[in-house]
Amino acid sequence: MTKLYESRKRILVTGGAGFLGSHLIDRLLRDGNEVVCADNLFTGSKRNIDHLHTNPRFEFLRHDVCFPLYVEVDEIYNLACPASPIHYQHDPVQTTKTSVHGAINMLGLAKRLRCKILQASTSEVYGDPFIHPQTEEYWGNVNPIGPRSCYDEGKRCAETLFFDYHRQHNLKIKVMRIFNTYGPRMHPNDGRVVSNFIMQALRGEHLTIYGKGDQTRSFCYVDDLIDGMVRLMDSSDEITGPINIGNPVEFTIKELAEEITARVRSKSSLVFLPLPLDDPKQRQPDISRAQAILNWSPKMQLREGLEHTIRYFETFLDRDDDR
């Protein structure tokens, strides 16, 4: 029993009621840890963590990371920030504050506790890239004053803060650049392409494609992404990142739409609308560093991952219909 408690960590996950955060918490609890989930529920949902409230090793705090948080933990995963364009453009000033003030507050907590902290960064730091696929050495092509800038530049500034705390205070940091991820618990109305297409197909609506549909994305299943995140946190202190975590298999948006309509057996047609400003034309991770350093590669193929995700949205619709 003593050894069990010696190996158990108390871990803070900010944004823990969100899509990625809730899956991360499930994994950390399965590994035997205690978890403190902090979330202001702006985009997160209690539905994602309802199944955890009877777990004695789980604690929920309704908290906005723009304000300091005083808890005692052994590790911090900082995932708090709206991640879809619809949500982060709803209040762009608050989005920037969440990335920047949130990073400062969580780094301050980690500094006080002398604990490791992981920043959930994003492939959006590469903007609309000139280099393809994107390596961690690429500095990106980002519009600093466009409608997506609150998220892109907020995350870039958060990375800056993490590395400055590392250099100035010798803080143990991990920076992970997350590429497009999908799976159960995605918000059905978050505006991201996988959830959009699935919900439209299930409802028999037209699938809306922005642009010609020839822009590309790489889609990583959530379980693979979480495995990469935990591996990065558990890696040696010398490994700070940034490290790309995503699936390097590239698909056009039109191919994704056709795959989803086939999986759903939908007769929905495709409708093409103008491409939003600063929407990247290509997005594909170079994961050589993750493969070499973390021995990590994604395992789930898109077709199988979509089946799991579609089943989740089918039950989601069923629950809504019962209300």
Residue 273 has pLDDT above 70, yes or no: yes
If you average pLDDT over residues 288-300, what whole number do you get?
98
Residue 320 has pLDDT above 80, yes or no: no
What pLDDT was estimated at residue 259?
A: 93
C-alpha distance from residue 253 to each of 152, 219, 275, 283 (Å): 21, 11, 12, 11
If you average pLDDT over residues 262-283, what whole number do you get?
83
**Average pLDDT of the chain to the nearest whole number:** 92
Range in 119-128, 139-148, 180-189, 267-276 with the lowest mean pLDDT: 267-276
What pLDDT was estimated at residue 267?
A: 84
Residue 59 has pLDDT above 80, yes or no: yes
Residue 323 has pLDDT above 90, yes or no: no
Looking at the chain, the whole-number percentage of residues with pLDDT higher than 90 is: 80
Nearest to 252 by CA among 189, 180, 316: 180
What pLDDT was estimated at residue 319?
A: 60
Reported as a single tens digit per residue, the pLDDT across 127-165 is 999 999 999 999 999 999 999 999 999 999 999 999 999
What pLDDT was estimated at residue 192?
A: 86
Catalytic residue list: 151
pLDDT band for position 282 (cuts 50, 70, 90): confident
Indicate the residue type of 28: L
- Dist. CA 276–CA 93, nearest whole Å: 20
Residues in the chain: 323
Rg of the chain over all Cα atoms, to the nearest angstrom:
19
Residue 15 has pLDDT above 90, yes or no: yes
What pLDDT was estimated at residue 266?
A: 85
Residue 215 has pLDDT above 70, yes or no: yes
Q: What residue spans define the domains of the chain?
A: 2-182+222-246+280-299
pLDDT band for position 275 (cuts 50, 70, 90): confident
Which CATH superfamily does the domain covering 2-182+222-246+280-299 fall into?
NAD(P)-binding Rossmann-like Domain (3.40.50.720)
> What are 249's two structure tokens?
């298999």
What pLDDT was estimated at residue 277?
A: 72
Range in 34-38, 173-177, 280-284 with the lowest mean pLDDT: 280-284
Higher-confidence residue: 1 or 53?
53
If you average pLDDT over residues 251-261, what whole number do you get?
94
Q: Report phi then psi at 99, rounded to 5.
A: -70, -45
Residue 97 has pLDDT above 80, yes or no: yes
- Dist. CA 157–CA 160, nearest whole Å: 5
User: Cβ neighbours of residue 15 under 8 Å, at least 6 residues apart?
Assistant: 21, 38, 39, 44, 65, 78, 79, 80, 81, 120
What pLDDT was estimated at residue 69?
A: 97
Alpha helices in the chain (DSSP H): 2-7, 19-30, 85-88, 92-113, 149-169, 193-202, 222-234, 253-264, 288-294, 302-322
Nearest to 181 by CA among 152, 221, 151: 221
pLDDT band for position 1 (cuts 50, 70, 90): very low
What pLDDT was estimated at residue 99?
A: 96
